[in-house]
């Protein structure tokens, strides 16, 4: 039985990885069923501790990866070939368990129906004029609310749940979610140094549904990053969709958190403009928001290792594509299409498509 288990488990994982599931089925049975049942209690349990459960699992994996070869290959009783073969099967079985756990707890959300299929979304709304209008709205908000956003102490990570939680629940309601995701407590991780060197702002732990954050982020960066990771906890695995949902969350929060969202999206929106329009947007930006953007660039310049950044981007790009996100890390920028192509009500809620 043990040998059969070690052999069949990797085959099962490979079969699932190679077989795309019907998106409507995933949406109905997994995201709205299994995941909606798992996420609230698992995240609530993880929130009860200040340390990251992800760190404990990571340490365990490292210990096993070191100890198992030592145990298997030290004085093999049946010869080296059998010992190496047994080690390979053990490692494959462990990898299969980790992968199946990932899929069951969070990963299948990558195969759910795209968010745009649930919204009143039309590509005809995506025009140069509408993009210029959205950039002008972004610049106007940053200019007019910079002083107010900076006029009080910024919320730290410990205070973020109290500040953003009501807005997070409101955004879920606006999106027509039939269940309510529990927000994660922003935590420091042992991989925080890697976050800094690779320019990673945050991460959703896909095994215990925690929110892990880069502790070096500037105060006006934190809210949008936390809202983005919470959007993943709500089942929006696609990066552009998480950015869109995070924007909805911040728009329902106090001015400082709204400022964080507009500041975070500024570069993405402007980069989608033609070069001549980019220069005009840059000239329109006031000295306060410009100083904040420069501070972010300086933080990145001081912390980021180009090698770690390229390696991290390459690995994550392959990870996303392996999970059927065709655009890879380019999916971050597709939030522009969602913002422009979606129809909104007067209070800023997205209009949902009739099914």
Order of strands across the sheet that contains 202-204: 186-187, 211-213, 202-204
Q: Has residue 306 got a pLDDT over 50? A: yes
Q: Has residue 272 got a pLDDT over 90? A: no
Q: What's the whole-number average pLDDT of the chain?
A: 89
pLDDT in tens, 206-229: 999 999 999 999 999 999 999 999
Overall average pLDDT of the 8-31 stretch: 90
Residue 315: per-residue pLDDT: 59
Residue 328: per-residue pLDDT: 46
What proportions of the chain, in percent to the nearest 5, are helix, strand and coil?
70, 5, 25
Number of H helices, E strands in the chain: 15, 3
Structural domain boundaries in the chain:
2-111, 116-341
Cα 163 versus chain centre, distance: 20
Out of 111-115, 193-197, 306-310, which region has the weakest mean confidence (pLDDT)?
306-310
Residue 131 pLDDT class (50, 70, 90 cuts): very high
Plot region of 188 (φ>0 → left; ψ -120 to 50 → alpha; else → beta): beta
Overall average pLDDT of the 49-59 stretch: 95
Residue 108 pLDDT class (50, 70, 90 cuts): very high
Higher pLDDT, 83 or 155: 155
Residue 217: per-residue pLDDT: 96
For the question of whether the overall pTM of this predicted structure is more than 0.95, the answer is no
Overall average pLDDT of the 129-157 stretch: 95
Q: Which residue has the tokens 């009080």?
A: 152
Residue 319 pLDDT class (50, 70, 90 cuts): low
Higher pLDDT, 319 or 91: 91
Concatenating the DSSP letter of every residue in 267-295 gives HHHHHTS-HHHHHHHHHHS-HHHHHHHHH
Strands (E), 146-232: 186-187, 202-204, 211-213
Q: Has residue 276 got a pLDDT over 60? A: yes
How far apart (Å, rounded) are the C-alpha atoms in residues 284 and 138? 11
Residue 92: per-residue pLDDT: 87
Higher pLDDT, 354 or 4: 354
Overall average pLDDT of the 35-64 stretch: 95
Percent of the chain with pLDDT over 90: 69
Percent of the chain with pLDDT over 70: 90
Residue 118: per-residue pLDDT: 94
Q: Has residue 325 got a pLDDT over 70? A: no
Overall average pLDDT of the 326-348 stretch: 79
How far apart (Å, rounded) are the C-alpha atoms in residues 198 and 312? 6
3-state SS class at 101: helix
121: CB partners within 8 A, 6+ apart: 338, 341, 342, 343, 353
Higher pLDDT, 259 or 71: 259
Out of 1-10, 65-74, 196-205, which region has the weakest mean confidence (pLDDT)?
1-10
- Residue 43 burial (CB count, 10 A): 22
């Amino acid at each position: 039985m043990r040998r059969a288990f070690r052999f069949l488990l990797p085959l099962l994982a490979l079969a699932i990885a190679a077989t795309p599931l019907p998106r409507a089925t995933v949406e109905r049975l997994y995201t709205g069923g299994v995941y909606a049942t798992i996420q609230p209690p698992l995240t609530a349990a993880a929130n009860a501790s200040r340390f990251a459960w992800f760190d404990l699992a990571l340490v365990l994996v490292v210990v096993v990866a070191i100890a198992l070869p030592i145990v298997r290959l030290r004085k093999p009783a049946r010869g080296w070939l059998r010992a190496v073969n047994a080690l390979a099967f053990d490692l494959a079985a462990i990898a299969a368990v980790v992968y199946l756990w990932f899929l069951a707890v969070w990963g299948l959300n990558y195969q759910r129906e795209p968010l745009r299929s649930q919204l009143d979304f039309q590509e005809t709304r995506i025009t140069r004029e509408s993009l210029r209008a959205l950039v002008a709205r972004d610049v106007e908000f940053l200019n007019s609310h910079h002083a107010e956003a900076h006029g009080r102490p910024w919320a730290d990570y410990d205070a973020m749940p109290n500040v953003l939680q009501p807005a997070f629940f409101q955004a879920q309601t606006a999106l027509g979610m039939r269940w309510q995701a529990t927000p994660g407590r922003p935590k420091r991780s042992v991989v925080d140094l890697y976050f800094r060197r690779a320019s990673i702002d945050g991460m959703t732990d896909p095994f215990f549904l925690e929110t892990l954050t880069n502790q070096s982020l500037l105060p006006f960066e934190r809210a949008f990053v936390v809202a983005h990771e919470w959007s993943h906890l709500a089942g929006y695995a696609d990066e552009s969709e998480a950015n869109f949902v995070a924007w909805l969350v911040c728009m329902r929060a106090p001015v400082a958190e709204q400022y964080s969202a507009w500041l975070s999206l500024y570069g993405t929106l402007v980069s989608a403009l033609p070069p001549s329009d980019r220069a005009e947007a840059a000239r329109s930006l006031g000295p306060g928001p410009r100083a904040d953007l420069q501070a972010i660039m300086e933080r990145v310049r001081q912390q980021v290792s180009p090698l770690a950044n390229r390696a991290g981007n390459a690995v994550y790009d392959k990870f996303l594509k392996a999970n059927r996100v065709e655009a890879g890390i380019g999916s971050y920028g597709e939030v522009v299409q969602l913002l422009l192509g979606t129809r909104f009500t007067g209070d800023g809620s997205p209009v949902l498509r009739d099914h």
